[in-house]
Chain A
Amino acid sequence: MTTLTRGRQAPAPAARARPPRRRRRPWMTITLFVLPALVLFLLLVVAPIAVALYASAFKWNGFGGLPTNFVGWDNFTRLFGTEVFRQDVWHLGVIILLSLGVQLPFSLAIAMLLHRRVRGRAVYRLVFFAPYVLSEVITGVLFSLLLSPDAGLANQLLGAFGLESAWLADTGTVLPSVFLVMTWKYFGFHMMIYLAGRQNIPEELIEAAQIDGATPWRVFRHVTLPLLGPTIRISVFLSVIYTIQLFDLVWILTEGGPSHASETMAVTMMEFGFGRNQVGYASAISVVMFGLSLVFALVYQRFVMRRDLEGAATSMGDHR
């Protein structure tokens, strides 16, 4: 994420240095370059949001032109009243907690290990990052075979120690199992971010702390960790936003079951939109997801990442 911070910082001095002359030509160029992206953005991002907002106020099966049966907030009141949706919110909370409490610290630990000069470091990095490159669908299929209660490799191996589990086939174990698969797929990605962040910490600071007699733990706690702050904050941000929209993996692994025990908002939306042809209701779910993501993104950037975005937190990117 260094690139991000650097990218945001860079234009400031450059813009200041350039004398303000001849406004017309830059505007032409700007328009020319921005227009295609802007058109795509409006068409594929803004318009869909608008349509979803509009449709969420109607009872509509999606057929026959525009919706006509206006129901106001009814879709939303029904939504918040259903057990399934309340469970979705609960699952969201659980997965966010697990991600922040287990997945990210784990990634951080691996990143710290791989920052040292370990033999075969490049190989480890490659192997740990590889799952992230796989598509979610492939990951899902792979793990539904691995975790198959009867014939799966996991139970064949663990069975030898009497540690068999129902994995995805039990309401109690399904959510942790899904989280396990998520972690397998994404810890390499967060590890990579942390590694990049770690490499940007000047070794002088670490050395200085060591010369002052700090133990490895204190070096990590009081030098490395604070300087990794911006990186950690961005990875938390990505993790939470991803969790709000979690769909593909769950859909392939469990379709939200058994008994909705691993259902997410996006899965519920899919079931109502495509399975039940209740497009208005499904749009309401998508609006809630959008709202959640938007509010989280704004609040988080305003209060947590503000210093990072101003580029005042560290000297990242400036030294060397």
Chain B
Amino acid sequence: MGGRGFLLIATAVLVAGCGGGGGGGGATEPKQSQAGSPAKVTVELWHLSTTEPMKTIMAERAKEFMAKHPNVTIKATVLENEAYKSKITTLTQSGKAPDVFATWGGGVLKQQIDADLVKDLSADVAPILGGFTKASLAAYQFDGKTYGLPTDIGMVGFWYNKKLFAKAGIQQPPATWAELLDDVKKLKAAGTTPIALAGKEKWPGHYYWAYLAMRIGGVPALQQAATDKNFTTPDFVAAGQQLKALADLQPFQKGFLGAGYSTPDGQSASVSNGKAAMELMGQWAPAVQKSSGKGLGDDLGFFPFPAVDGGKGAVTDAFGGGGGLAVGADAPPEAVEFVKFFDEMANHSRAVEKGGVLPVLQGEESAVKDPNLKVVAESLAKATGFQLYLDQAYPPAVGAEVNDSVAQLIAGTKTPQQVAEAVTEVAKSE
């Protein structure tokens, strides 16, 4: 077992940049085309679509692209969410990037851009840029340059069980935060667990704090805080206090502090099996519910995060994010072509129809078939403001501190003021 110590130290050094151990990125085949026939090119594609329908769709698109360009071989590396994050971090820290890779944009992509690992696509995509919706592009644009194209965009909101709401005597989904707190009490009185939360994974908790800050302070306040590196303004503290007010009602399922999101007894399964009445989650919630439990079918409904009385943010402001594809700095031109190919209207709308992603192109909304996803797509289309997930928008350390501190707030080990101070401290040290 002595070797274990060295293993861990070796892990630390993996962090420190000794390389990702295989599966390296970068184009491996010669790029120059010989006179006449184009030379063979391998494009490394890294993505994290491990669930249907996107798993099949990604594979199909790659196949179609290869059929169109016989000289191109697309080599896909597909990893599950958490594994993907670790592996891409290790690879990029060793100074390499795959030719095409899935990204959430925001602060992580910015660090990769600053390290010269990501290709500036501005010139290549200029002609097609107008076709995308504004909200979907925002996460991949920095200083007027475009470093990736969106493949999916969505927003976070409450997914609720209509039957359980009716049973508790709630006629309408809450429109204000005060109403939500009331409904939580009603649900509890009716013997129903009001909210499911994955406390072990910290990111689902941060949605509450971020949304409350958005409703209370407005979208600009979130961006201003990042620029000023100051999260101790009254709006953020108030957001923490409102979240604490919710947590004090003990609305979450038994043992939520140890619960995962998509595990058999986790957040998604609790809602899916009718044990909890709602969850605050992104547009993928229905799909995950289907695989984590029985599913609610027609009983599943969606309502946007309620407004806070006296808040500066509008109820139509959306909080969310999506996914996109970025291109490695040393990638062959074919890599850019593939990304553009994937986002062609005819191709992308097919993925939307299958329910795998939401519209990123203008006029694509009609392709959404699922009634709940239609609500999401329409809310997004008329969103008055858009804020990317904080753990993606901010530098990784700040985003992680938000998740961590808010988790402690919900667990009752940090006060709203301490959360604000902890996030500020990390933001200042970045």
Contacts and interface: CB of A to CB of B under 8 A. Distances in A.
Interface string A264-300: 0010011101111111001101100110010000000
Contacts of A174: 258
A167 B86 contact: no
Contact of A254 (B18, B108, B258): B258
Interface in A236-261: 238, 241-242, 244-245, 247, 254-255, 257-260
A152 B10 CA distance: 36
Interface stretch (A20-28, A143-151, A206-214): A143-151
B201 to A, nearest CB: 7
B255 A275 contact: no
Interface string B240-253: 00000000000001
A277 B200 contact: no
B8 A148 contact: no
A144 B8 CA distance: 23
B360 interface: no
Nearest first, the 6 closest Cβ-Cβ pairs linking A and B are A149-B255, A169-B258, A286-B12, A48-B13, A63-B115, A169-B255
Contacts of A242: 1, 4
B253 A150 contact: yes
B257 A274 contact: no
Interface stretch (A49-57, A90-98, A112-120): A49-57
B216 to A, nearest CB: 25
A64 interface: yes
Contacts of B111: 61, 63, 277
Contacts of A285: 12
Nearest to B260: A144
Give the size category of B's interface with A. Answer: 35 or more
B2 A269 contact: no
A61 B396 CA distance: 10
A245 B86 CA distance: 20
Interface string B397-410: 10011000001100
A274 B85 CA distance: 8
B228 interface: no
B85 A52 contact: no
A271 B202 CA distance: 12
A250 to B, nearest CB: 12
B302 to A, nearest CB: 25
Interface stretch (B42-50, B51-59, B87-95): B87-95
Contacts of A271: 400
A74 to B, nearest CB: 10
Interface residues of A, number: 58
B254 A150 contact: yes
Contact of A259 (B8, B275, B407): B407
Contacts of A255: 200-201
Interface string B1-19: 1101110111111011110
B106 interface: no
B contacts with A: majority SS = helix
B12 to A, nearest CB: 3
B117 A290 contact: no
Contacts of A275: 396, 400
Contacts of B85: 274
A289 B11 CA distance: 12
A244 B275 CA distance: 40
Contacts of A148: 255, 258, 264-265
Contact of B95 (A64, A247, A270, A283): A64
Contacts of A45: 6, 9-10
Contacts of A169: 199, 254-259
A51 B18 contact: yes
B32 interface: no
B351 to A, nearest CB: 30
Contact of B397 (A49, A278, A293): A278
B12 A274 contact: no
B97 to A, nearest CB: 11
A257 B200 contact: yes
A312 interface: no
Nearest to B395: A277
A293 B7 CA distance: 13
Nearest to B255: A149
Instruction: Name the residue in A242, A258, A266 with the highest tally of chain B Cβ atoms < 10 Å from its Cβ.
Output: A258
Contacts of A63: 92-93, 95, 111-112, 114-115, 117
Contacts of A241: 1-2, 4-5
Interface in A77-112: none
A66 to B, nearest CB: 8
B224 interface: no
B227 interface: no
A32 interface: no
B263 interface: yes
Contacts of A150: 253-255, 265, 275
A149 to B, nearest CB: 3
A309 interface: no
Given A150-B255, A282-B15, 4 more contacts: A44-B10, A255-B201, A289-B5, A290-B5
Given A259-B413, A273-B15, A278-B397, A266 B8 contact: yes
B5 A282 contact: no
B338 to A, nearest CB: 25
B120 interface: no
B8 A245 contact: yes
Given A62-B17, A171-B411, A279 B1 contact: no
Contacts of B397: 276-278
B330 interface: no
A96 B92 CA distance: 37
Contact of B16 (A52, A145, A167, A168): A52
